Structure 1
């Protein structure tokens, strides 16, 4: 059984990615940290569309939880392979740096950057043995451009962008590609409090994006047809920054 793991797969962009990968024939591991109900809704959406998967609870930023939950799943399913890893989990704690608390810095860095390291290192072992894999990191416009009030988030996502490029060079000969997708303003819980009408003037296509538009790009990077593309960062932001 070919499997795909999506961290932070319970809502928003993560949910859309889970649905897309299930439609491509993957058994999807829907990772969540706390909200099991949302993860179960994602799983039900896969089933409604004829796909399959399961939920898997762990905090990507907690090395012990990753080892126990994800490592335990891998050890118990030696006949199955995680061919696609989507590092999507991330949090925002926006505040100007002068007022930022240590925990606001650490929480954001730990989830996005350390989480990428803990999860990818574990999944990568089998990909290297099988000489096949697709690693797709969901980063952000923040990691490319930098946005005020998001020094922690920009640092975390910028770090993952740099790691994407470095890891791509390490594993390319094993038929493993590593790419990143940098969304701009996408209609999810994370952008719920933003004034879309006011922000439209900054976006050449004059609208926020949909989670499914990000998921479509993930589907391409997850496919065999993308095998000659690695170390790339694809911006999905309506043309507001490249």
Structure 2
């Protein structure tokens, strides 16, 4: 009978598809069973942002980059919601498993580090995509906003979910306690989401802040989705695709190495 060790030592080109599917299914079902918290709540939050800005700014707000302010704002809020929830999905799943001591249930099965990485990312990307769909439908009904380039919009939503999902998994592996995870969320993820052109055009920033913003991959996610949705952007969407793809691959590679070595996962 083939033992677990033999099953885990698969040669090049052999992939545990059943194990990957099972892990991905677990991560997706994990947020679906509490859909009011993971899917409905972000939709309400996005709606509140639009409502508050509409009340605070009012109809007298001048256009931004040639489009009405709310139209300019909507894609940024959509991407901000996607990346925050993709990060929360993978990071919370990993840190809860570590704190509760059941991370062994993920590490013991014959899953390679790549399969574990892809399984967790599937949950983050799926949650981000479902949130983007719900927010997009609401914006279409309320604002009449439909994507001008659906494929490009979808590409940035998937990249956003993958990038922040991998970053969330990295943070979940690094953090050993909930307060460490909260610090990463509050002092790194939230500023990245809010200070990346979500609510404004970066052309309005001073030169130094403009350059710093262009070094932030989250800016290209927001800017790329804005181009896909309404056809305007602060930078080239093709440059954004390249930057976001490179950043996603880099974070995935670092996280894969942490999984491969068992960093902060194995005693």
Q: Give TM-score, length-normalised by structure 2.
A: 0.27
Structure whose residues are more often helix by fraction: 2
**Greater relative contact order structure (CA < 8 Å, 6+ sep):** 2
Which one has a bigger Cα radius of gyration?
2
Q: Give TM-score, length-normalised by structure 1.
A: 0.29
